[in-house]
Amino acid sequence: MSQKAVLFVCLGNICRSPMAEAALRAEAVAQGLALTIDSAGTNGLHTGQHADPRAIAEAARHDIDLTRHRARQLTEDDFLHFGHIYALDHQNLREIGRIAPRRHSAKVALLLDMVPGRGGQAVLDPYYGDAEDFATAWDDAAQAAKYIVAQLAR
């Protein structure tokens, strides 16, 4: 397991977690930090599907291509490969705990725990919202990405 490997987890892996993955990837590249980055969902309902078109559009607003993303479900093996696993909300944090093997050393937390003053907060689920909700979720993920890169660069 690598401490420079980060996994983002939401429910279906078509909205928030792919945007968080993309935001961290862009920040890591901008800062010259080599990281392994991926995303997954606690629910396998969307496995193999593309990211939500609204997530693709929001990423494109930031010059990031999410069209190659394919949803996948969180597995026990993820706890062996990723040193940091970030849930996008409390429900998925609980599900991560349920899925986790008894023994693992991955650090599991809410994504916004990385942002000073935002600990314990969830990233808004934009799925039933509009483009503004996707922009808000992106902004939260991008803000957290800056702190994750800063921490892992040390």
Q: Tell me, yes or no, if 52 is annotated catalytic.
A: no
Q: In the chain, what are the domains?
A: 2-153 (3.40.50.2300)
Tell me which of 16, 54, 72, 78 is the catalytic residue. Answer: 16
> Of the listed 10, 54, 72, 89, which one is catalytic?
10
Angle subtended at Cα 71 by Cα 99 and Cα 142, rounded to the nearest 5 degrees: 90
Summarize pLDDT for 76-132 with one digit per residue, the tens. 999 999 999 999 999 999 999 999 999 999 999 999 999 999 999 999 999 999 999
- State residue 1's pLDDT score: 56
DSSP-based helix, strand, coil % in the chain, nearest 5:
45, 15, 40
At 57 the pLDDT is: 98
125 annotated active-site? yes
Element at 102 (helix H, strand E): none
Residue 113 annotated in active site = no
pLDDT tens digit string along 24-50? Answer: 999 999 999 999 999 999 999 999 999
Distance CA 110, CA 123 (A): 9
For residue 3, the model assigns a pLDDT of 76
| Total-model pTM | 0.97
* Active-site residue (options: 38, 52, 78, 125): 125
pLDDT at 152: 95
